[in-house]
A and B are shown apart, each in its own frame.
Chain A
Amino acid sequence: MRLLAHNMLACNAKGVVNGFPLKIVPKETREVEVDFNAEFLTHMLPKMEWSAFVNAAKEIGLEGLPSEIPDDAASDEEFLRTFHHALLEVHVEEGTLVCPESGRKFPINKGIPNMLLNEDEV
């Protein structure tokens, strides 16, 4: 699971009003290089819940992201490269996602989050 996925993920279990953002408790991460695509990154920026993203990056040991998106983000290559790395190049292989409201834990095993809910949670 990469941070792009994490920024879209929410806990939608029964009774949960705001299941976003899920806290990441990482056990193992891995980096894999991805081609830099400024156009895609610029397209993604308005979709991001930015403070959740910055916080998630810290949870997996990534520093250096600004607390707010710079005004000239699209032309700020240094910023885009930092964003690119955190968004797409770091995989949480093993760990846990925790719902901020209910505390419900979702395991990540071999890179795959298991978001299935039990019968009494739907």
Chain B
Amino acid sequence: MPEVEREHVQKVYDIVAQQWHGTRYRAWTGVEAFVRKQPPGLLAADVGCGNGKNIPEIVKGGGFALGSDFSRGLIEICRDSGYEVMVADAVILPYRSDVFDYALNIAVLHHISSPERRVELVKETMRIVKVGGVALFYAWALEQEQGGVSGHQFEGQDVLVPFHNKIKVKGVAPEDERERQSRVSGAPTHGEADREKRSVVYQRYCHVYTEGELPKLFENLPWCEVTAAYYDHGNWCVEVLKTSRP
């Protein structure tokens, strides 16, 4: 894994997991709509499941979700919610091929730092889906609506996006908290104290996508068919059907 993904994605999610979870408690409406289109009672993979916010929707109709994420901090939150999860890298999934009825890959692609690894990532998600199964991919868009939900405007396609890990305990100086967090095992080394906002600021690496960039990831995969491509709340999205084995 490239160092930028380890330091600016995996380690950041581990250290901010609790606060991340506190503000993200349900699936995005577009993701929910996709899950509801699937017949009930299926086996789904949620690749890069984060805190598990998509899983309640999957299990609602009697289905089952296997979640994976490379952040142990986030996966522990899933486990505490009673979800079936494991720590794994989305670029090399620890699953058999052709077994899942469908897969979700939500807000994962925008943390992958090279074009080759993005193709590897989509191939892995499509590999584990059965022939005739579908996967939904969401990734952050460069094109953001003014005043949109995410509130971000990006300077370029490869950016660092700050995350403020708020300090909840009164009387603790941000510098001291930064120092304490930096000593947590596996913590990022780049955290900075923000006195004004009383937080420790971490930078998440993101590659934000332009229109047409997601479908292009599949252009050399003739066993995959992009059946829909659209924009939803600041993200580019594709729905992909697995038409045969590679």
Residues on A close to B: CB < 8 A?
1-2, 4-5, 8-12, 20, 37, 39-40, 43-44, 47, 49, 106, 110-117, 119, 122
Q: Are A40 and B87 in contact (CB under 8 A)?
A: no
Nearest-CB residue, chain A, relative to B68: A115
Complex Cα distance, B129 from A47, in Å, reads: 12
Chain B residues with a Cβ closer than 8 Å to the other chain, count = 28
- Which residue from B64, B86, B100 sits with its C-beta under 8 Å from A1? B86
Complex Cα distance, B66 from A47, in Å, reads: 14
| Given A5-B84, A115-B89, 17 extra CB contacts under 8 A | A2-B84, A4-B66, A8-B95, A20-B96, A39-B62, A44-B64, A47-B99, A106-B94, A110-B76, A112-B85, A113-B86, A114-B87, A115-B87, A116-B87, A117-B89, A122-B89, A122-B91
Complex contacts, A8 vs chain B, CB 8 Å:
66, 95-96, 99-100
Known A43-B42, A116-B88: A4·B64 in contact at CB below 8 Å: yes
Q: Are B41 and A39 in contact (CB under 8 A)?
A: yes
Asked if B1 CB lies within 8 Å of chain A CBs, one says yes
Q: Are B86 and A5 in contact (CB under 8 A)?
A: yes
Complex Cα distance, B91 from A74, in Å, reads: 36
- Which residue from A5, A12, A49 sits with its C-beta under 8 Å from B66? A5
Question: Interface code B17-61, partner A: CB below 8 Å = 1, 0 otherwise?
Answer: 000000000000000000000000111000000000000000000
* Min C-beta distance of A21 to chain B, whole Å: 9
Q: Are B79 and A116 in contact (CB under 8 A)?
A: no
Residues on B close to A: CB < 8 A?
1, 41-43, 62-64, 66, 68, 70, 72, 75-76, 79, 84-89, 91-96, 99-100
Q: Are A9 and B95 in contact (CB under 8 A)?
A: yes
Complex Cα distance, B94 from A9, in Å, reads: 6
Complex Cα distance, B89 from A5, in Å, reads: 16
Q: Are B89 and A116 in contact (CB under 8 A)?
A: yes
Nearest-CB residue, chain B, relative to A87: B64
Q: Are B79 and A111 in contact (CB under 8 A)?
A: yes
Q: Are B84 and A37 in contact (CB under 8 A)?
A: no
* Min C-beta distance of B213 to chain A, whole Å: 25
- Which residue from A43, A110, A115 sits with its C-beta under 8 Å from B79? A110
Q: Are B62 and A37 in contact (CB under 8 A)?
A: yes
* Min C-beta distance of A24 to chain B, whole Å: 14
Known A1-B84, A37-B41: A112·B79 in contact at CB below 8 Å: yes
